[in-house]
Chain A
Amino acid sequence: MIVRIKYSKTAAGRFLSHLDLLRTFERIFRRAGLPLAFSEGFNPHPKISYGSALAVGVTSDGEYLDVEFTEELPLTDMMKRLKEVSPPGLEVLELRSLDTRGKSLTAVINMARYCVRVPLRQALSQSRLDEVISRVISEPELIIDRERKTGKTEIDIKKGIYALEGCIQEGMLVLEMDVQTGSEGNVRPEEILELIRKFGNIDMEESLRIHRQGLYIRDNPLVRSPW
């Protein structure tokens, strides 16, 4: 049986790297006593596939993975067991049994929704913020530098920004955005924050919190969840 799991990465678990996450989930399934299915060969691996990797430090309410078990089990029972053995950093939210393997999560997920919060060092009005945001989205191209193993490269992230809104809450700049993710291209929330900072010349603190609200399948103009 193949099960799709929706889980969250909480504040306690936000420093887990993708590799830490893989290790931890295998152990969760083992502790839950669920009959993992393994790949063939000398060095068998559990059959678990993940949605888009989450950057270290980012929390999320909508992550997905598909896992295969060798036996059919009732989902309510499974849910109960998983909850009992999950560490503080990860929380299993929902389970769904998949009839067929279908396309992998990484192949279909192509959009992420983020919320970024950063304390401001200066006063900022809503109208000024709106103005900065509309300037950013009306640019024909948005070139940013990205560190690659081979060195710095310039890329245009304009096409990967689908929506961008902002507001001010208690001296905090809060940005909500829909951006591209997956194999076709990736836009990082910090990059958008940096554009806002630069365009508006806004003075903000260095500490920021990034939260991924969800992962989606975007088939313009339709957006649906991988659930």
Chain B
Amino acid sequence: MVDVCQIIENEILPKVTKPLRYVGNEYNVIKKDWTSVKLRSLFAFPDIYEVGMSHLGLRILYHLVNEQPEYLMERVFAPWPDMEEALRKRNIPLFGLESYHPMCEYDCIGFTLQYEMSYTNILNMLDIGQIPLKSADRGDDFPLVIAGGPCASNPEPLADYIDLFVLGEGEEVILEIFRSMAAHRGKRGGRQDKPALIQELASIEGIYVPAFYEPVYDERNRLKKIVPKEKAVTPRVSKRVLRDFDKAYFPTEPIVPYMEVIHDRIMLEVQRGCSRGCRFCQAGMIYRPVRERSPEVLLEQADRLAFETGYNEISLTSLSTSDYSCVEPLIKELLERYSKQKIGISLPSLRVDSFSVNLAAEIQRVRKTGLTFAPEAGTQRLRDVINKGVTEENLIEVASVAFEAGWNQIKLYFMMGLPTETMEDLDGIADLAYKVLRKGSEIQKRQGRSKQLKITVSVASFVPKAHTPFQWEAQDTRELLRTKQQYLKDKIRDRRIVYNYHESEVSFLEAVFAKGGRELGQVLHAAWQRGCKFDGWSEHFLYTAWIQAFADVGIDPAAIANQAGSFEDVLPWEHIDFGISKEYLWQERQRAYEAAKTGDCRFGACSACGVCQGLDVETVLILEGEKLNDC
């Protein structure tokens, strides 16, 4: 052990880029005695440190587990290729940052699945950690490998590699899992009998064991049904959900990294879930219902966090912070408390309305970074199709308010390839950009300012996702996406408008893995063998290798990404229950084609998506009932 530490610190770290990624002795890090705990777990983030350390889920689970005296949790991130090479050359297994133990020595490793393009990194990390990739090949001596996070909503592409998936909110269930594991080991002198252990864990609500379910295909190789085997505890596994968000665990002494990470600030999670009901948005569906945290709790957390971390910025995070009932009084109070100490407040996403811009204007004294809005589609018709309740007037109004308040830069997010899209909708994107620009010049002229305006138009390609009304949709072919990208490029010919778009190859693969089933496990393996890793990083993305990998195993990716389905089709995630009923999703899809809007249950009537009824939870708004006085 000591030797390995010495080699890592003296020979490897001085030579790799950003050595702090692998050091792991940050402020507030928790190092526990390896031998005195009942269970040793490792949180594995399949991307680099800077990305992983910005992830709120890691902060929550890491500190929740480590606050329990009988368990320890350490961290591992995907090593950058220079580090990987250095480790492989010396045959040093990938290790947990806190104690430098090799991955294979932990009892349990938990991967978080934040985006499909990180899957090859999971295989690669297991391999550098000297752990067999396939669940079936890992005997009792190897750690239990579990996974959770948003992509567990379609876990099938990873079914061969993961022993069990945690569906829904991890902080609700992780200690139950660990208690079970520790009890199991306790009875066996610290060892595990994996088949028995997995069977025990399968009875915990929210735990999905892929090996207990078998996809059956018809003669045309289409999914016919998913059969629960005899060991399966339930035909459908439901997600876990926190009921009382005020009482939910939230760390107030989080690790403070030395090096700059992407979200290098205090994150106050004001609420969980979003019920706006945008029909393409997976997060908006799988994190339902909305549960707000009360301002008292948030203010107390802010106080502790500011004192314990020393950060100079507090970000109010959630899927749509402007929707939080008490956002205004909360911001007011935070500004009052912290402006003297020069602690800034920030909002990660802004709703397209003047209320939100005014909030931003109040908290953002420096106008250097631009404001970002997401109209998502170029015409009212298409915005109605996707249920994005934003009008052109809204957008022009927020732009005006922003320019009046002194901003010179505005970023607009759109999607391309949405269901029913025509070239007219693309014209609409260009149109909106020009209208915003014109408004900007007009206001600048009037105010006598001359700072260069910049409108950034970022256009992502639509990726159909599981558990959304668009889960049956086909993605546009890559050729069509490219044609559309070029079309829009030709339309935008003002150097004050910057046009960005994503590589269609990446979006295509995302769609394949978002929609595909268990058969993709082999593709993943073949791609990894061909050197694919860090697929989300353009400098590492090897599209040709991917296409060869599909050919290797005889799967046509286009048949997954570019084909639409029908209600009768068996979806690969048919047995995975995130609470939203299939009927509701289909009905929403129908309504999309009629361009009919569906209201937000937070402000209006329940649209019976199924979550609250099915999982026995409810939307929690602070303004409701007896909590009214708090605001």
Contact = CB atoms under 8 A, between A and B. Distances in A.
A5 to B, nearest CB: 16
Contacts of B9: 11
A213 interface: no
B307 A33 contact: yes
A29 B10 CA distance: 31
A79 B596 CA distance: 65
A85 B306 CA distance: 13
A15 B306 CA distance: 25
Identify which of B11, B258, B308, B309 gathers the most chain A CB atoms within 10 Å of its CB: B258
Nearest to A28: B310
Contacts of A11: 9
B26 A87 contact: yes
Contacts of A28: 310
A18 to B, nearest CB: 12
A214 interface: no
B366 A12 contact: no
Given A27-B256, A30-B341, A87-B27, 17 more contacts: A16-B258, A16-B259, A20-B20, A27-B27, A30-B312, A31-B307, A31-B309, A38-B342, A42-B365, A43-B365, A43-B368, A46-B342, A56-B19, A57-B19, A85-B310, A207-B11, A209-B10
A14 to B, nearest CB: 9
A207 B258 contact: no
Interface of A: 11-13, 15-17, 19-20, 23-24, 26-31, 33, 36, 38, 42-44, 46, 56-57, 85, 87-89, 206-207, 209
A158 to B, nearest CB: 27
Nearest to B306: A30
Contacts of A89: 25, 258
B625 interface: no
B260 interface: yes
B311 interface: yes
Contact of A20 (B11, B258, B306, B310): B258
B374 interface: no
A9 to B, nearest CB: 11
Contacts of B306: 30
Which 7 pairs from chain A and chain B are nearest by CB? A27-B310, A30-B310, A87-B27, A31-B310, A15-B19, A88-B25, A207-B10
Contact of A27 (B13, B23, B311, B366): B311
A56 to B, nearest CB: 7
7 contacts: A19-B260, A23-B260, A28-B310, A30-B306, A43-B365, A87-B258, A207-B11
Nearest to B368: A43
A13 B307 contact: no
B260 A20 contact: yes
Interface in B295-328: 306-312
Interface of B: 9-11, 13-14, 19-20, 23, 25-27, 256, 258-260, 264, 306-312, 341-342, 365-366, 368
Contacts of A17: 259
A147 to B, nearest CB: 16
A29 B312 CA distance: 11
A26 B256 CA distance: 12
A151 B20 CA distance: 28
A10 B14 CA distance: 15
A23 B306 CA distance: 15
A29 B20 contact: no
B312 to A, nearest CB: 7
Contacts of B310: 26-31, 85
Contacts of A20: 20, 258-260
A57 B366 contact: no
Contact of B23 (A12, A19, A33, A42): A12
A69 to B, nearest CB: 12
B10 A44 contact: no
A33 B307 CA distance: 7
Nearest to B264: A23
A179 B19 CA distance: 27
A56 B26 CA distance: 16
Contacts of B342: 36, 38, 44, 46
B366 A87 contact: no
Nearest to A43: B366
Given A12-B23, A12-B25, A15-B23, A24 B307 contact: no
Nearest to B14: A57
A212 to B, nearest CB: 16
Nearest to B26: A87
Contacts of A33: 307
Nearest to B7: A207
A15 B10 CA distance: 11
A129 to B, nearest CB: 23
Nearest to A23: B260
Contacts of A42: 365-366
B312 A15 contact: no
A38 B341 CA distance: 9
B408 to A, nearest CB: 14
A26 B20 contact: no
Given A20-B20, A207-B11, A87 B25 contact: yes
A186 to B, nearest CB: 20
Contact of B308 (A23, A31, A207): A31
B30 to A, nearest CB: 12
Contacts of A30: 306, 310-312, 341
Contacts of B365: 42-43
A27 B309 contact: yes
Nearest to B16: A15
Nearest to B11: A207
B90 to A, nearest CB: 13
B7 to A, nearest CB: 9
Nearest to A39: B342
A11 B259 CA distance: 16
A62 B259 CA distance: 22
A38 B259 CA distance: 23
Contact of B256 (A19, A46, A87, A207): A87
Nearest to A119: B10
B53 to A, nearest CB: 13
Contacts of B368: 43
A13 B13 CA distance: 12
Contacts of A19: 260
Contacts of B258: 13, 15-16, 20, 23-24, 87, 89
Contacts of A44: 342
B308 A15 contact: no
A11 B23 CA distance: 11
A75 B127 CA distance: 52
B42 to A, nearest CB: 21
Contacts of B19: 15, 56-57
Nearest to B9: A11
Given A20-B258, A42-B365, A26 B13 contact: no
Contact of B20 (A15, A27, A31, A36): A15
Contacts of B308: 31
